[in-house]
Amino acid sequence: MNGKMELLFWQLVYFFIKQRYRIIQLSNHSHEIWLESLENKHVPIVRVVRYDIDWSQWLKRDMEYAWRIAEQIQKRRIRRFREIVNIYVSTYPPVDDWEFLIEKPLPLSQKRNAVFRTFLIHSGNVNMSLQQLTEIVQTPIVLPTAVNDIDPFFEAERLKQDILREAREQHERERRLFEYGKPVFTYIFIALQVLVFLLMEWSGGSTNPAVLIQYGAKFNPLIQEGEWWRFFTPIFLHIGFLHLLMNTFALYYLGMTVERLYGSWRFFFIYLIAGFFGTLGSFLFTTSLSAGASGAIFGLFGALLYFGTVYRHLFFQTIGTNIIGLIIINLLFGIMVPGIDNAGHIGGLIGGFLASGIVHLPNHLDWKRQVRTLLVTVSAAALGLYIGF
């Protein structure tokens, strides 16, 4: 094994990490590494392989394997991209003809105009290959010059350990994102809506319109007369046991996730603002008496979508696809089934997203973004109230 090429391999991986790529897959022997960019929209995925290739047949088989993996990766992605780059670092090129294998990029069938491009870097074409890579990733690739009296194997091992340590630390940081807070207000809100439901049943029934109005359901004429608290009180009221049961389960599962992500006080703010926007949406677009935590619960979906704008890669690797699917299914269900307040759901979804932008994620400070979101939120609420009144 050539020490200079081993060092080049790890220098190349280190370069991509410094360009805010993250390791998403690592082989057992650390000689096949897949990286995903947090910022590069054109080349979001890079694969780097260290292997001394003897024959082009091996290269062909491995390219086919990597292309299939690339197909699977891009099927899971919503964001459009142009290229996935596959890089081999080999001491020498194959002894037989191989250039025709990488001469043209392979198309990725699921994405229009997306391609799988391969580079083979060997000791005779390092500078030319790095120049070609620079043009593809649109960032100058400048690698440190090896010092003559330093063992390249030793330096490669040191760089390897630094990279693997950084990958472990990154994984730990991402794991802690989902364990920031404890679900305090989730349990409080569940207990509160169950308690209010029991009081309503005791007062004459949760499906009784008079009882619903008495306890603060959304009722447009009374809101227009100045009972502004009815923008918030419907969050804790439910019409019938099935309504309560469904929203309690939804609040439990979504609330646990969102409160762990954002912390208790941020969760409290997001839930109430989402509930307000849910009621406001219902107030603007429906005249019927309504109540329920659905708007606030859709706001929790909005909070998770906002998390996805900050940690797009982590969002889609964990909960993203399921969350988007659930939102679409619930909105379609609301359109097809009579009696469901879809305006309240959409209002809550928007409110939860905006409220999350105001408080932002824990340990993240972006005052400009937060102030802009606050102004948008206040303007949207003011416009809605102006139209409604």
In the predicted structure, residue 360 carries a pLDDT above the cut 60: yes
> Which residue stretches of the chain are H helix?
3-18, 56-75, 99-102, 126-137, 152-177, 184-203, 209-215, 220-224, 241-262, 264-285, 294-310, 312-317, 320-336, 342-359, 367-388
Distances (CA, A) of 365 to 77, 217, 306: 28, 37, 15
- Of 163 and 271, the one with more pLDDT: 271
* Residue owning tokens 């790890």: 10
* 187 vs 364: CA distance, rounded Å: 26
* 351 vs 300: CA distance, rounded Å: 9
Residue 343's identity, in one-letter code, is A
Residue 29 burial (C-beta neighbours within 10 Å; 0-12, 13-18, 19+): exposed
CA geometry: angle at 143 spanning 139 and 147, to 5°?
165
Contacts of 246 (CB under 8 A, 6+ apart): none
Q: CA torsion 160→161→163→169, rounded to 10°?
A: 160
Q: pLDDT (tens digit, 9 = 90+) per residue, 99-140?
A: 999 999 888 875 567 889 999 999 899 999 999 999 888 888
Confidence of residue 244 (pLDDT cuts 50, 70, 90): very high
- Of 136 and 300, the one with more pLDDT: 300
- Of 235 and 177, the one with more pLDDT: 235
Q: Does 288 qualify as catalytic in the annotation?
A: no
Give the pair of three-digit tokens for residue 162. 């630094």
pLDDT of amino acid 78: 55
Taking residue 139's Cβ as centre, other Cβ atoms within 10 Å add up to 15
* Residue owning tokens 């950084």: 166
Q: pLDDT (tens digit, 9 = 90+) per residue, 281-293?
A: 999 998 889 999 9
* 336 vs 229: CA distance, rounded Å: 31
Confidence of residue 311 (pLDDT cuts 50, 70, 90): confident
Contacts of 350 (CB under 8 A, 6+ apart): 277, 281, 302, 380
Q: What percentage of the chain has pLDDT greater than the value 90?
A: 57
* 96 vs 51: CA distance, rounded Å: 16
Catalytic residue selected from 294, 313, 356, 360: 294
Confidence of residue 66 (pLDDT cuts 50, 70, 90): very high
* 87 vs 120: CA distance, rounded Å: 6
Taking residue 308's Cβ as centre, other Cβ atoms within 10 Å add up to 19
CB 15 within 8 A of CB 2: no
In the predicted structure, residue 79 carries a pLDDT above the cut 70: no
In the predicted structure, residue 373 carries a pLDDT above the cut 60: yes
pLDDT of amino acid 171: 80
* 267 vs 256: CA distance, rounded Å: 10
- Of 1 and 358, the one with more pLDDT: 358
Handedness of CA 34, 106, 80, 72 (dihedral sign): negative
In the predicted structure, residue 25 carries a pLDDT above the cut 60: yes
Catalytic residue selected from 122, 243, 313, 345: 345
pLDDT of amino acid 1: 56
In the predicted structure, residue 38 carries a pLDDT above the cut 80: no
Q: Does 109 qualify as catalytic in the annotation?
A: no
* 334 vs 298: CA distance, rounded Å: 12
* 307 vs 186: CA distance, rounded Å: 18
Distance of CA 245 to the CA centre of its chain: 29
Mean pLDDT of the chain: 88
Backbone φ and ψ for 208, nearest 5 degrees, come out as -80, 115
Give the pair of three-digit tokens for residue 381. 């609420």
Q: What percentage of the chain has pLDDT greater than the value 70?
A: 96
Average pLDDT over residues 305-310: 90
In the predicted structure, residue 83 carries a pLDDT above the cut 80: yes
pLDDT of amino acid 388: 81
